[in-house]
Amino acid sequence: MTDSSRRTFIKGAGTLLAGGLLPVSLVELVFAKTSDNFTFAYISDSHIQQISGNEFVRNFDRGLIRAVAECNLMDPKPDFVIYGGDLAQLGSKPEIDHGLEIMSALNYKTHYVMGEHDYYLDLGEYWESQLGPQHYSFDHKGVHFVILNSILTYDDWTHNRWSSGEERMGVMAGLDNPNGSPFMVGDAQRVWLKKDLDKVSKDTPLVVLSHSPLQKIYKGWNFWTEDAEQIQALLKPFNKVNVLYGHVHQIQYNQIGNISFNSAMATAWPWPYPSSFLKSASHVPKLTVKMNRADPFFERDATGWQFIDVNSGNVDVQYSLTDNKPRTVAFSDKKKQPQDTQYQDKTIPPQEHY
């Protein structure tokens, strides 16, 4: 991508035009090797919810429709799209079909990540029939992409407790349901991951897509991956690692050693930050500048999607936030961690007034 095409690109996101203020880290990156740079779109957490028959909750349909329409506006076009999980609310065929129908308006190839709402009805059987394996990897322009199914849980919970898939899905669908079970990648998939990464040189940048955060943020709402430390240990030997995750329906970002973490917004609805629940402790990364608090009258407020600029192996996330100014969380070469390009040291009331 050339400099001039990047400028048009930034225009689309709403940052001030040439002559105005370009975010500093993007300016730094302009001088990086352009052959290392590309963009992909990242849409997540649509929670298409069936009411009955062909009737779906309009609010959530509109969120995905808007993300797809805005994504189609991108100029220059992204290389591909990644869908971050929770396409359906209860994982049913009508919901997955309806979601895929909306996604079909996208003009680009899409890779899908599994979410728990897609999985627990039938353990991903219908999903796989439409979209392929639940975990896999691919390479693109010198970057190794790994897609994990990180919303699995203990076998006993999955297989031995429920009279039906519907019952199991219903429990897992409640974020605060005390009868849920913590997410994990699990032993088998970690074995696969190690084998997959053994083939990749330590200099190759990694982008890991996961629905759960691959960190331990708040167990009560499953902002949690039980084997986070083990996954992080597998990623540690690589020079540049970026984890992108969904599930949390809010802006979060973090740096653990050499691993950058960035979350996706939901197209459906926002979730409160765990710190707003007073009864138990939580660990939202201190680095994170929160998203703006929503006005629930505007159904798209505090929802959105993102496009990811991969610059020399590090990831800059640009959030397109309906009814709000866009935000950019870019990797700072100086601080070696993600930083919000505008608000990192200067938050505004909607980001604090929770």
Interface contacts to another protein, rule CB under 8 A:
8, 11-14, 17-18, 49-51, 57-59, 62, 65-66, 68-70, 72-73, 75, 174-176, 220-221, 269-272, 274, 276-279, 293, 295-301, 320-326, 353-354
As measured in angstroms, the least distance from the Cβ of 67 to another protein is 9
DSSP 5: H
Nearer to another protein, 66 or 135 (CB): 66
Rounded Cα gap, residues 183 and 213, in angstroms: 9
Q: DSSP string spanning 87-141?
A: -BSS--HHHHHHHHHHHTT-SS-EEE---HHHHTTTTTHHHHHHH--SSEEEEET
As measured in angstroms, the least distance from the Cβ of 70 to another protein is 5
Nearer to another protein, 139 or 352 (CB): 352
As measured in angstroms, the least distance from the Cβ of 57 to another protein is 5
Residue showing tokens 């192996």: 313
Q: Which two three-digit tokens encode residue 67? A: 């993300």
SS3 content of the chain, % helix, strand, coil (to 5): 30, 25, 50
Residue showing tokens 């302009």: 30
As measured in angstroms, the least distance from the Cβ of 251 to another protein is 15
Nearer to another protein, 116 or 227 (CB): 116
Residue 92 has a CB neighbour count (10 Å cut-off) of: 20
Nearer to another protein, 101 or 128 (CB): 101
As measured in angstroms, the least distance from the Cβ of 171 to another protein is 11
As measured in angstroms, the least distance from the Cβ of 58 to another protein is 7
Nearer to another protein, 140 or 283 (CB): 283
Instruction: Give buried/exposed letters for 212-247 (b at 16+ CB in 10 A, else e).
Output: bbbbebbbbbbbbbbbbeebbebbeebebbbbbbbb
Nearer to another protein, 232 or 342 (CB): 342
